[in-house]
Structure 1
Amino acid sequence: LLLFAYAFSWVMAFLGMSVRSPEIINNASFLILFPLTFISNAFVPSENLPTPLRIFAEWNPVSALVQSARELFGNVPPGTPVGDAWPAQNPIATVIIGVVVLLAVFVPLSIRKFATLSR
């Protein structure tokens, strides 16, 4: 959870340096996080969702994060069905791959953006 939050903070740092006012980043972050959080398996099991939402929820990085936290903390209820998508079957690997990708993309972008803004 901490590693994912650290990686996502680089995304928000880059977005924060790319916009002109704090209100814009507040709205932009809400537009990004709201659908990702609510169309995931955080609140409702993904198999209870309609087919298009279920497919989105199974590939959603927040769903992988929630499922990996449940697995690592030993909080998976017995008989919980596993989705058909690769991220649903391998949530820990999905989160680690996602963290590496986020860091590889947004750390250099954020540093370059900061360097151009500080000139």
Structure 2
Amino acid sequence: MLAIRKEDRTPVGHAGLVYQNVEGKSETEVGYWISQNFWGQGYATESAIRWRDYGINTIGKRRLISIIQHANKTSIHVAIKNGMKHEKDVIFRNKNVALYSIDR
């Protein structure tokens, strides 16, 4: 889903819920990609929180995840601000990544 800045409708990136297969288990990921021009302005955090709330409150998901590369400290910070905790490291698409999760 396109992420749009409210005040002028400028596209800033993409965000949404993505269905992933992680270690043979179907998971729902809070995913986001923000254009570099808009980094550091809170768009990733705002998008992640809104999609978390939608996933839990609107469609009734009991668990959400974020799959994050270890070097992406900013996304790790966003996941933590989104109420997620590091659950474990996993191999996802042939890469060792961190799996953050929130359970309700």
Fold match (TM-score > 0.5)? no
Greater gyration radius: 1
Larger strand percent: 2
Normalized against structure 2, the TM-score is what?
0.31
Normalized against structure 1, the TM-score is what?
0.28
